[in-house]
Amino acid sequence: MKTLFLAATLCATAQFAFAEDAPITHDSEYYILLSQHGAQWAEDDVAVDARLASFRAQNGGKAPNIVSVLIDDLGFGDMGIPELNAIRGYETPNINDFSDEALRMVRMYTEPSCTPTRVAQMTGRLPVRMGMGDTAVDIAGFGLPGTEVTLAEVLKQAGYATSHVGKWHMGDIAESWAMNQGFDYAQMAVHQQGQLTIFNDDAIKEQVSVAIQDYDDKYTLDAAFRPDASAMMTVIEGEAGGPIREIRMESGERWNAAKYDEMNQAFQDKTMDELARLAQGDKPFFLQYWPMIPLDNTRAGRSGPESANGGLYVDKMQLLDQWLGDLFAQMDALGVADNTIVVVMGDNGHFTKYSPQSGFTPMIFRGGKADTTEGGVRVDAFIRWPGMIEADGLLNSIIHVSDLYTTLSRFAGADQFIPRDRLVDGVDQSAALLFSDESKARRDHVIIYSADKPKAIVKDQLKLKLPPPGENPIVAKFYNLYQDTREEYSVSTEVGAWGGQEFVRILARHKARKQKFPDTPPAFGLPYDGIENIRPETAAAVDAFLVRKASPEQ
């Protein structure tokens, strides 16, 4: 109790030192670090403010622009290390050049799959806190609640122009969508690539997956068991407060590989256009480009292997590298490279279901997407801010994707708009990033969830795989991540006897904190409600969803 009291005091002091707001409310472990480092953090905050003020002064009083490129399903080491490109027979020269200008966040932790990672970046909160730890690949009628205050909303309040292009995948109900969550404009895929690359007609022909639509229905009683993926909503577009329209499908049309290519090219083109438009505006801007590629699952008559590797994802990764090269060149041409923070990172580990055909297999860390081993949650992550963040640097501090929410808000001078009425998991890593100094990090742990269950805890280089409920924590599996990146040799000796208990206490504090800040469910609603031009087959698919939902004990 004494520690917590001290922590709360220090916390108030540290935060009030640089902002006139109430302090941001964090999870319990933060206050333990604060009690040890509060005085230093207060000093660091003064230095951070000075550097940010100096940037603004040189930038005509304007906050920096922010570009977020979040790439699907990449493992650690897929970008930015030429040796690791070479041994796998592909090249990402543009991203590698970018990484030479950026700081590599070596210990960036995401959530183990797309939706929760994106939710964490957007809200600064663990996805479990608002029921968004789970992913649905079909029509589901739930999503990110409108009550969440997204990074876009925080920045918008600070005067930013905001735009989102590409994957969204945080729900199929209107309140969850980018244009309703703080973006002035959005062109976004409602769902993910399952519908668009796995269940599309070309992929079904190539036996990438079981057929979703049943072409021969003579043995079928339940016509809606296999949804028709082409009937699902594809890409929507709209402005905040304006009409929202589906833009990639006409009624009766079937989704296929060619349409997937067209959509991806359009996302790239739109990103380039948005960058040009935003760069000409008066406001600082926040542009999110969340590409759908490298995910792809069928050749479908398109050109053959583009790389020596030849994997479907790897070939598309090379294409994405070209596109990002174009984007970086466009930033140079528009004169915004120097006043724009660019974050390029993966959203979770490899989608191992499609290894090795994808061309990617887990390597340095074990496991991939959906796993809570490091292979699921450790990703390549780079941040570039010329003159402000060390070029070609490495920062080996633990950073969680939710920290980007808090840190980018701080960089933008928008942190006063981070909500004070809820628990925010993302901590402010400004000092560590601006001074390239691991001792200035404000996090030394992550609690790794799979959906709504905590599965593992990392603190420093130690990782505890949580034992099943009721089991004595003394036998929990422990890993030393420095010595054993792949978690293959558990070290359940002395560290188990000490650490099992200590880690259980971390979890207990985390759970105790939930008494005051309980997890809440996601928002529920009518799928696709509010889209002007909903196709008849899409409306029918929604009806089928509603029938199943209404079925007793659904």
Q: Which residues form the interface with a copy of itself (CB under 8 A)? A: 76-77, 80-84, 86-90, 104, 106-107, 308-311, 314, 355-364, 394, 396, 461, 480-486, 488-489, 491
- Please, which residue, 237 or 371, has the CB nearer to a copy of itself? 371
Two tokens at 366?
């074990």
Other C-beta atoms lying within 10 Å of the C-beta of residue 91:
18
- Please, which residue, 14 or 320, has the CB nearer to a copy of itself? 320
Contact predicate 229/260, CB 8 Å: no
Quick one: how far is CA 399 from the chain centroid? 13
Two tokens at 477?
């599996």
Shortest Å distance, C-beta 439 to a copy of itself: 13
The whole-angstrom separation of Cα 351 and Cα 409 is 31
DSSP labels, 199-245: SSHHHHHTTSS--SS-S-GGG-S-TTSS--GGGS--EEEEETTS-EE
- Please, which residue, 78 or 228, has the CB nearer to a copy of itself? 78
Shortest Å distance, C-beta 398 to a copy of itself: 12
The whole-angstrom separation of Cα 188 and Cα 521 is 24
The whole-angstrom separation of Cα 174 and Cα 527 is 8
Shortest Å distance, C-beta 392 to a copy of itself: 9
Shortest Å distance, C-beta 368 to a copy of itself: 12
- Please, which residue, 281 or 304, has the CB nearer to a copy of itself? 304
- Please, which residue, 25 or 361, has the CB nearer to a copy of itself? 361
- Please, which residue, 13 or 355, has the CB nearer to a copy of itself? 355
297: left (phi over 0), alpha (psi -120 to 50) or beta: alpha
- Please, which residue, 294 or 522, has the CB nearer to a copy of itself? 294
The whole-angstrom separation of Cα 513 and Cα 515 is 5
Shortest Å distance, C-beta 437 to a copy of itself: 14
Quick one: how far is CA 273 from the chain centroid? 23
Shortest Å distance, C-beta 78 to a copy of itself: 12
Bridge partners, residue 340, by sequence:
65
The per-residue b/e assignment along 433-462, b for 16 or more CB within 10 angstroms, e otherwise, is bbbeeeebbbbebbbbbbbeebbbbbbeeb
Contact predicate 214/523, CB 8 Å: no
Q: What's phi and psi for 520, nearest 5 deg? A: -125, 160
Contact predicate 397/15, CB 8 Å: no
Shortest Å distance, C-beta 360 to a copy of itself: 8
- How large is the greatest C-alpha to C-alpha distance in the chain, in angstroms? 73
Shortest Å distance, C-beta 84 to a copy of itself: 7
Shortest Å distance, C-beta 443 to a copy of itself: 17
Cα atoms found within 13 Å of the Cα of residue 108, Cβ hemisphere only:
31
DSSP labels, 82-110: HHHHHTTT---HHHHHHHHHSEEEEEEE-
Contact predicate 255/298, CB 8 Å: no
The whole-angstrom separation of Cα 286 and Cα 457 is 32
- Please, which residue, 241 or 304, has the CB nearer to a copy of itself? 304
Shortest Å distance, C-beta 353 to a copy of itself: 11
Shortest Å distance, C-beta 86 to a copy of itself: 4
- Please, which residue, 356 or 521, has the CB nearer to a copy of itself? 356
Residue with tokens 């007609």: 201
- Please, which residue, 214 or 306, has the CB nearer to a copy of itself? 306
- Please, which residue, 166 or 359, has the CB nearer to a copy of itself? 359
- Please, which residue, 234 or 397, has the CB nearer to a copy of itself? 397
Shortest Å distance, C-beta 117 to a copy of itself: 20
- Please, which residue, 28 or 99, has the CB nearer to a copy of itself? 99
The whole-angstrom separation of Cα 8 and Cα 2 is 10
